[in-house]
Amino acid sequence: MKTIPRECSICNAPIEIHHDDWCAGHNAWPINNSRCCDGCNTHVVIPFRLALMNDAKIGKTLVEEDGRIKKEIVDEYISSGC
């Protein structure tokens, strides 16, 4: 079995290996600048991305000055079971 070189930056789970060389996960923006696993991409990253795209006003209340989603909002969202 291959070693898994990366962990999800959101839930800390090992990032899935999809095929031989692809194990870098997904872009975790706007949660953070790192990578994330399949589950977090589907259940956390994409919903936040859509929220930001769909409503700029709500989006502004969700993000830090650098454009990332505020950590406490992400934590709350995850702890509520996504």
Rounded Cα distance between 14 and 39, Å, is 11
Specify the stretch interacting with Zn ion by CB under 5 A; choose among 23-31, 36-44, 52-60, 71-79: 36-44
The verdict on 11 binding Zn ion (CB under 5 A) reads yes
- Pick the closer one to Zn ion by CB: 37 or 69: 37
- Given the DSSP bridges, would you call strands 26-27 and 35-36 parallel, antiparallel or unpaired? antiparallel
**CA torsion through residues 75, 50, 6, 19, sign:** positive
- For residue 13, the SS3 value is coil
Specify the stretch interacting with Zn ion by CB under 5 A; choose among 13-21, 48-56, 58-66, 74-82: 13-21
**Which residues contact Zn ion by CB under 5 A?**
8, 10-11, 13, 36-37, 40
